[in-house]
Structure 1
Amino acid sequence: MPENLQNAAAAELKPSAIEISLVVPVFNEQESIGPLIERICEAMEGFARPWELILVDDGSTDATLMKARSWLERPGLNLAVIELQRNFGQTAAMQAGIDAASGRLIATLDGDLQNDPRDIRAMAQALEERELDLLVGWRKNRKDGLFLRKIPSWCANALIGRITGVRLHDYGCSLKIYRASIIKQVKLMGEMHRFIPAWVAGVVPSSRIGEMVVTHHPRTLGTSKYGISRTFRVILDLLSVLFFMRYQARPGHFFGSIGLAAGAISALILGYLFIDKIAFGNDIGTRPLLLIGFMLFLASIQLITTGILAEMLARTYFRNDDTPNYVVRQTFRRG
């Protein structure tokens, strides 16, 4: 068994004082941070096992951090507030929270009050009963605008499911629950939090990934951080995910395949022109086809060389892949 899987299995069997870690990235949510913590405390009241709440302030420029820290001394609340040095994006903030989590299970949700914390306990139970490693929330009755949010989301979900092979109704829902031993094997990069199920499918079979209908509330406090431009970013991110899923460990196959195809076409063109010149005596020096053949030949050489260099970089990356994609300024806890 590979060493990382052995470590994951050992972590799963090792008893943890914390059963569930709730990770919430926040950015300029000063209006909603107080009601959010209050709702989480109400939702987890009476939970039989210890739990913790980890708020990750992603470089907020308002009073979000100050208001979050004011809850540190609340009795019965195991709260950690992580302050990032600047705004690194939701994916990096989520990664920071996951890295700091000590629970056997990890739940993530948004800080805008649209996810309902009361779904967490039911999702944790469903994860265990269905023997899953990841359970994704499905906002079946979504309370967002039709044209700016719902339609682009429907299209993106269908496209992501078709390309990645992980069929879910709602990739974009931040309310998810994971086994910590699994999600800690996945390194989130860029703005790839929308594709977490696809990344997890690279660690476990897709049959261990499920979904569950959850409650979704309309946004009543603060302002949305998303617009129609997110649709275009999703398309670009999806292309990156497709590349990483299929060629992360062997990028030479991607560039080399294209290079060999270009080289084959170049060989056919130049072979045809050679025969045309030798056998029929036709002038080929001014023919555009000759230029195309030579350009394809050069492109073939460049692509194959790029593939070799990419293989070398990939091997170096996998040997030294310990650098986090965020910087923590400080972490606040009780006392």
Structure 2
Amino acid sequence: MQENPHTIAAVELQPAGIEISLVVPVFNEEESVGPLIARIREAMAGYEHSWELILVDDGSTDATLLKAREALVLPDLNMAIVELQRNFGQTAAMQAGIDAARGRLIATLDGDLQNDPADIRAMAKALEDRQLDLLVGWRKNRKDGLFLRKIPSWCANALIGRITGVRLHDYGCSLKIYRASIIKQVKLMGEMHRFIPAWVAGVVPSSRIGEMVVTHHPRTLGTSKYGISRTFRVILDLLSVLFFMRYKARPGHFFGSIGLATGALSSLILAYLFVDKFLFGHDIGTRPLLIVGVMLFLSSVQLITTGILSEMIARTYFRDDDTPNYIVRQTFRGP
């Protein structure tokens, strides 16, 4: 069987002297994918360096992929379409695009036309001028609903900045530009794309992460994939980020410290009951405090052993974890 010349595995894409790779995950955006590609071509027209567009179809069930493939015939567009086998979520789709990108710089943006591709060239220049490794877009004049999107976002941004120590106005803006050598050191999992600046701060100083005001457009095509339920997921993800940032390489310290504190409290309780029983002769067999002391002791043992097991798992993870969190069906490239 003859191999399709426009279909290659994403892992086969090799560096090709490209300055910027634009990574755009899309899911059921059949109405906006055509205008999106047109807007990107217009924004990058006349750019003095080479660039490419990596469009990641995250298992769309509509005509998104078909409409995107129509642009492959354009001679002035260096585009690859990475088709995922099913819907893996925005984080996995973004990771697939980053893995496929060949540029020295990588820019990410949403596929719903709310991010403006015209900001990319200015952001690339600002990244170099300010000697940054990551430049995050700030939707200062955000065109979203106040109660469903803006207020939860403001609260989340303040909470994330306080916990992670990376102070930004807008963590949730998908329009970002990275040095490829830096972002490729970060593996995105779950729904952690919102916390990319925090993950990047784990490999570079936070002083090399900045932000820049960008244009934000109201959504006019398609439907939003987000709702108020995302706020609760952000809180859970934030706890995970806090754990991974501080204890990823030493989880035994996290569980062990709690276990030692619990064990110390248990020891105090049991010592008090021992004195009360053998020095003062009081009956302790039916006292709730005895049950509390024993349960705290058992909890301490469990937490410490959990810490030891987590240390073993973490060492295995750092040694053997090369498994991607997505599956590519095929990749299409234009002429």
Which TM-score bucket, shorter chain as reference? over 0.9
Counterparts of residues 175-214 of structure 1 (less than 5 Å)? 175-214=175-214
Q: What is the 5 A alignment of 1:204-283?
A: 204-283=204-283
Q: Distance in 2 between matches of 1:63 and 1:203?
A: 39
- Residue 21 of structure 1 contacts residue 106 of structure 1 at CA under 8 Å; is this kept in 2? yes
Q: Aligned letter for 1:223?
A: T
Measure the CA separation in 1 of the matches of 2:333 and 2:182: 26
Q: Using CA pairs below 8 Å that are at least 6 residues apart, which structure has the higher relative contact order?
A: 2
- Give the partner amino acid of 1:310: S
Corresponding residue for 2:7?
A: none
Distance 1:321 1:42 in 2: 40
Structure 1 length normalisation: TM-score?
0.95
Q: What CA distance in whole angstroms lies between the structure 2 residues aligned with 1:307 and 1:16? A: 45
Please list, as runs of the form range in 1=range in 2, the aligned pairs for 1:1-40 lying within 5 A after superposition: 17-40=17-40
What amino acid does structure 2 have at the position aligned with 1:114?
Q
Matches within 5 A, 1:129-168: 129-168=129-168
CA distance in 1, matches of 2:259, 2:234: 28
For 1:334 and 1:275, the matched residues in 2 are separated by 81
- The offset of 1:321, in angstroms, is 1.2
**Gaps in structure 2 of 5+ consecutive residues:** 1-14
Q: Give aligned pairs, total.
A: 321
1:334 CA drift (Å): 1.6
| Contact 1:157/1:168, CA 8 A, preserved across alignment | yes
Matched letter for residue 18 of structure 2: I
Match of 2:327?
327
Structure 1: which 5+ residue stretches go unaligned?
1-14
Aligned alpha-carbon RMSD (Å): 0.7
Counterpart-to-counterpart distance in 2, 1:206 and 1:334: 38
SS at match of 2:52: strand
Distance 2:334 2:135 in 1: 31
- The one-letter code sitting in structure 2 at the alignment partner of 1:200 is V
Percent of aligned pairs with the same residue? 86
Code of the residue aligned with 1:81 in structure 2: it is I
Task: Report the secondary structure of 2:103's partner residue.
Answer: coil
1:16 CA drift (Å): 5.3
User: What do the CA deviations read for 1:178-200 (whole angstroms, capped 9, x no partner)?
Assistant: 00000000000000000000000
Q: Secondary structure at the match of 1:256?
A: helix
Q: Quick one: distance in 2 between partners of 1:133 and 1:70?
A: 34
Q: SS of the residue aligned with 1:107? A: strand
The separation in 1 between residues aligned to 2:23 and 2:320, in whole angstroms, is 27
TM-score, normalised relative to structure 2: 0.95
Query: Given residue 29 of structure 2, which amino acid in structure 1 is its aligned partner?
Result: E
1:128 aligns with 2:125: no
